[in-house]
Amino acid sequence: GDSVTQMEGPVTLSEEAFLTINCTYTATGYPSLFWYVQYPGEGLQLLLKATKADDKGSNKGFEATYRKETTSFHLEKGSVQVSDSAVYFCALVPRSYNTDKLIFGTGTRLQVFP
Amino acid sequence: GAVVSQHPSRVICKSGTSVKIECRSLDFQATTMFWYRQFPKKSLMLMATSNEGSKATYEQGVEKDKFLINHASLTLSTLTVTSAHPEDSSFYICSARGSGRRAITDTQYFGPGTRLTVL
**What was the pLDDT predicted at B100?**
64
Query: Chain B residues with CB inside 8 Å of A37's CB?
Result: none
Closest alpha carbon within chain B to A102 = B46
- DSSP SS3 for A63: strand
Indicate yes or no: CB of A44 within 8 angstroms of CB of B110. yes
Indicate yes or no: CB of B43 within 8 angstroms of CB of A102. no
Suggest the residue from A24, A87, A97, A100 to mutate for an interface test with chain B (most B CBs closer than 10 A): A100
Under 8 Å CB-to-CB from B97, ≥6 apart: which residues? A100, B30, B31, B32, B33, B34, B103, B106, B107, B108, B109
The model's pLDDT over A82-95, given as tens digits with 9 standing for 90+, comes to 999 999 999 998 87
The model's pLDDT over B56-72, given as tens digits with 9 standing for 90+, comes to 999 999 999 999 999 88
**What was the pLDDT predicted at A5?**
95
Distance (Å, rounded) from C-alpha B75 to C-alpha A9? 35
Distance (Å, rounded) from C-alpha A102 to C-alpha B5? 20
Minimum-distance CB partner of B112 among A4, A41, A101: A41
List chain A pLDDT tens, one digit each, 114 residues. Answer: 889 999 888 999 999 999 999 999 999 888 999 999 999 877 888 999 998 999 999 999 999 999 999 999 999 999 999 999 999 999 998 876 555 688 999 999 999 999
A45/B contact by beta carbon, under 8 A: yes
A105/B contact by beta carbon, under 8 A: yes
A66/B contact by beta carbon, under 8 A: no
To the nearest whole percent, how much of chain B has pLDDT over 70?
92
Query: Chain A residues with CB inside 8 Å of B108's CB?
Result: 46, 100, 102
Indicate yes or no: CB of A43 within 8 angstroms of CB of B41. no
Minimum-distance CB partner of A43 among B34, B107, B111: B111
State in Å, rounded, how far the first CA of chain A is from the last one.
41
Element (H, E) at A51: none
A28/B contact by beta carbon, under 8 A: no
